[in-house]
Structure 1
């Protein structure tokens, strides 16, 4: 049986998952159901926000399920009624065994790393934060422990020196969509070899835990390269941040989206230098970070020259 003859249930929520669902639909695979997150209130008006996957699935007239709890008996009945041969997971939540074992051909997941490296919620971010030069996507069969199932296929992409996580995300979204099709076809044809992750040698496994606000705070006592990697690995979202302290005692929470390194020695970390017109740079342990894009709290993201035209508190400024 080829991949296009399989009854497929797709599970996903954000934009990253839409590319894979779109590839399946546009290439005439049988998507018999889409499972996505429930609508949630968002923004100042607390209006209900629909996931990116739901919006696309609605446009295509696909059957949509939005369970609050994946073990809910009513949801399990609805899922069983779809009679799927295969389930495909892209950027969704952890599944209970009753769900991932349901289809006769099992369930596979698309993960944003070269497994077994970077198991966890934020693989793209951590690969850049750690200064890696390469990343990729992996399809694997679900098993009991999260992100540990047998690997089906992997595709790599370089991480360039100026790449942000936004750049890598968009690249892998497209690479991943093609890998989902390749994996689906291989499962339908029975032409794949599942490789246990334990059999892949790795000197040290790097984790990819969920990122919290404190993880995003810049420590100016680190090296300039470490700080620049943190900024790139969190740009545009959730964004690295610092506090800028003015001479009159104001604290200005500031998100930093991009910076270049200017080598220097004997610096006091956190020192700020600016001509008040075209540049602002902050000292790390071994060099300056010349900030090019940033956002003051309550303001929009701006290029540094645009910000400095209306910001006149650079004298005596410190980063903390």
Structure 2
């Protein structure tokens, strides 16, 4: 059995979700030999190259950073091998080729944002909320040659609030995931890991979401509309299309927060200014919208949006 400081780890990840996990491993005194993350990418109005959130964290802690463009590059493989890693830990990174994940002596495991085998794919948190789940979780599993199918090491559950957005759930799951990863490392270090194969029946998928997928379908039950809005918030964001009744100009309106108001049947689908509250009425019920963003404008609380936008002059044209 190795001591924590003698367990050589290479960490792989890119977004903010992975930072919390990396910070947890550092605070637990594990020996992080290197951090692998995405290459710098142009960002902002000036399109200046910007490093990932994980890169920023690694630099802050004086860790070695690797940013390969090709994961099968021979120089990159040789450098990984030089660290003599016991364990690779992957959080929100790319699909690894076998030549990479088979390097460490104790294996390579990944943290996924669902209770596997459910919601395999790129957007597990979003789809769990969209589908109206009341519970989800995080899972650590050994990586194999397919996506999110490897043997499960640990799973931890978390509840989903009825009005909670994917973004709010994401932030709570980062904290849960950090502890789950730390616990998984300890199981492996102590030789107590007992990986179990994933069942393969009645699976719900979590495919990548495009902008066009975010157009709100208003011809469905009001709870489903509400779940879709919160499941897409804050990114990539549900939206509807508005058209000016006279000029016929069109604008998109992004919807960030909603609550079910009632399940009455309304004669038309319309946005209403109800005493400074923005209400979406449909043939299946009504929602109170508390935060929106008009095309080309800032994200605003509904009351501020209504103060500067005559909603009665516009209609929904989805």
Determine the structure 2 residue equivalent to 1:241: 239
Cα separation, 1, equivalents of 2:152 and 2:215: 35
Contact 1:269–1:282 (CA under 8 A) maintained in structure 2 = no
**For residues 256 and 157 of structure 1, do their structure 2 counterparts lie closer, same or farther at Cα, with a shift above 3 Å needed?**
same
CA contact (8 A) 2:264 2:286 kept: no
5 Å matches for 1:64-83?
64-83=65-84
Question: How do residues 54-203 of structure 1 correspond to structure 2 at under 5 angstroms?
Answer: 54-198=55-199
Gap change, CA 1:161 and 1:3, over 3 Å in 2: farther
Q: Distance in 1 between matches of 2:172 and 2:195?
A: 25
Aligned-partner SS, 1:317: strand
**Contact (CA 8 Å) 2:244, 2:250: kept in 1 or not?**
yes
- Over 3 Å counting, the alpha-carbon distance change for 1:29 and 1:161 in structure 2 is same
Q: Distance in 1 between matches of 2:58 and 2:265?
A: 57
Match of 1:299 in 2: 297
1:208 alignment partner in structure 2: 206
- Residues 244-289 of structure 1 show CA distances to partners (whole Å, capped at 9, x for unaligned) of 12212121111100112222434245322224x5122222331012
Instruction: Output the CA distance in 2 between the equivalents of 1:280 and 1:171.
Output: 28
Q: For residues 252 and 186 of structure 2, what CA distance do their matches in structure 1 show?
A: 49
**How far apart, in 1, do the equivalents of 2:238 and 2:314 lie?**
22
Q: Runs of 4 or more off by more than 4 Å in structure 1?
A: none
What is the deviation of 1:71?
Answer: 0.5
Q: Which residue of 2 aligns with 1:259?
A: 258
Measured in 1, the distance between the counterparts of 2:79 and 2:32 equals: 15
The 3 A distance-change label for structure 1 pair 281 and 74 is same
Query: How far is the alpha carbon of 1:21 from its aligned partner?
Result: 0.5
Whole-Å separation in 1 of the counterparts to 2:69 and 2:179:
30
What is the count of residue pairs matched by the alignment? 316
CA contact (8 A) 1:3 1:184 kept: no
Gaps of 5+ in 2: none
Report the CA distance between 1:46 and its aligned residue. 0.5
Q: Is the 8 A contact 1:220 1:269 kept in 2?
A: no
* Alpha-carbon displacement from aligned partner over 1:215-268 (angstroms, at most 9, x marks no partner): 111011111111100111111111111111221212111110011222243424
Give the TM-score normalised by the residue count of structure 2. 0.96
CA contact (8 A) 2:39 2:51 kept: yes
Segments of structure 1 that go 5 or more residues without pairing to the other structure are none
In the superposition, the TM-score normalised over structure 1's length comes to 0.95
CA distance in 2, matches of 1:18, 1:285: 44
Asked whether the equivalents of residues 218 and 240 of structure 1 are also in contact (C-alpha less than 8 Å), the reply is: yes
Aligned to 1:53: 54
Cα separation, 1, equivalents of 2:158 and 2:9 = 28
More divergent stretch after superposition (214-223 vs 90-99): 214-223
